[in-house]
Amino acid sequence: MRVLIVDDEELIRNVIKEYLVQEKYEVKEASNGEKAVEEVKREDFDIIIMDIMMPKMDGFTACREIKKIKDIPFLMLSARGEEYDKLLGFDLGIDDYVTKPFSPKELVARLKAITKRGKSNPTYVVAGIKIDDAAHEVYIDEKPIYLTPKEYELLKYFMENKNIALSRENILNNIWGYDFYGDDRTIDTHIKTLRKHLGKYKNLLITVRGRGYKFVAKEEK
């Protein structure tokens, strides 16, 4: 898996690169949008992590230019968190948006989730829980269960990002969308009902104090 990191701050590039290399990704770097476009013309990448505020050519402009050349997934990275920026990014066809400061582990988890979407075997299994994404079905110990659409999306998102502590904001943005105007109680209510559906596996979905929730590969005590 080849990743292009585009950010004018060398320290941020180095931090992201360190985590990606640990996950066995092949990494290239660019310090601004112009260099990113040049890299894409020369080489192929599976995904691009792109900062927005950069000299010479900003991330949005670079994204437009790159999309004219190749259809590559984008994860945008920025210190700006205004709704306008997020909506503009999604209009350009980006796949996800991370606001600085960020957790490198969470960034890697999001990157993995983006790249998994194109895989041909959309099945997720943790303990006795299985999601057959192609059939849109969930099984507990091989027995089918019914989930609402949002419960299904939540469970799938947690299983895609198992063992990663996910903030409530991150969950809201990814499941309900960036234009959702509700509050954290929406998540808590859905988590409560999802746990009931999981039965004896409900303790795999744990609360992380001061952070949000985490779906663990085995029960934590």
Contact in structure between 55 and 78 (CB atoms under 8 Å): no
What confidence tens digit (pLDDT) does each residue in 166-196 have? 988 888 888 876 555 555 678 888 999 999 9
What confidence tens digit (pLDDT) does each residue in 27-60 have? 999 999 999 999 999 888 989 999 988 988 999 9
Q: Please name every residue paired with 78 in a beta bridge, in sequence order, or none if there are none.
A: 99
Report pTM: 0.54
Which fold is adopted by the domain 123-215?
Answer: Arc Repressor Mutant, subunit A (1.10.10)
What architecture is domain 2-116?
3-Layer(aba) Sandwich (3.40)
DSSP 203: G
Q: How far apart are CA 178 and CA 172, in angstroms?
A: 7
Q: Please name every residue paired with 135 in a beta bridge, in sequence order, or none if there are none.
A: none
> What residue segments make up the domains of the chain, in order of their start?
2-116, 123-215
Q: Is 142 helix (H, G, I), strand (E, B) or coil?
A: coil
Concatenate the DSSP letters of all residues of 168-198 into one string. Answer: HHHHIIIII-TT----HHHHHHHHHHHHHHH
